[in-house]
Amino acid sequence: MLFTFVFFLKLRILWLMTFLVVEARDELHRMLNEDELRDAVLLVFANKQDLPNAMNAAEIIDKLGLHYLRQRHW
């Protein structure tokens, strides 16, 4: 029973992390489509890189959809 609880707890945390990344991506793209930010340069900080599950640069680019920002410096 404890194994099942721990498994579902880990699954819930993974789902929450995925949801937060998707929400961050959507909000980032929404903000960058605003007229006030049309010419803004984007700087992405990847903190907590010392943690075991930290995303590398390629994963961050993919998850945030940065490759779609062709007319912007980042």
18 or 3, which is more confident: 18
- Has residue 74 been placed in a domain? no
**pTM of the entire structure?**
0.69
pLDDT tens-digit map of 15-24? 667 778 889 9
- Has residue 20 been placed in a domain? yes
Annotation-wise, does 47 bind a ligand? yes
Residues 6+ apart with CB under 8 A from 66: 42, 44, 60, 74
> 9-13, 49-53, 58-62, 69-73: which has the minimum mean pLDDT?
9-13
Domain around 58 = 2-68
Domain count, the chain: 1
Query: Measured between alpha carbons, how far is 62 from 46 in angstroms, rounded to an integer?
Result: 13
**Arithmetic mean of pLDDT, 16-39:** 86
Res. 60 pLDDT band, cuts 50 70 90: very high
Annotation-wise, does 71 bind a ligand? no
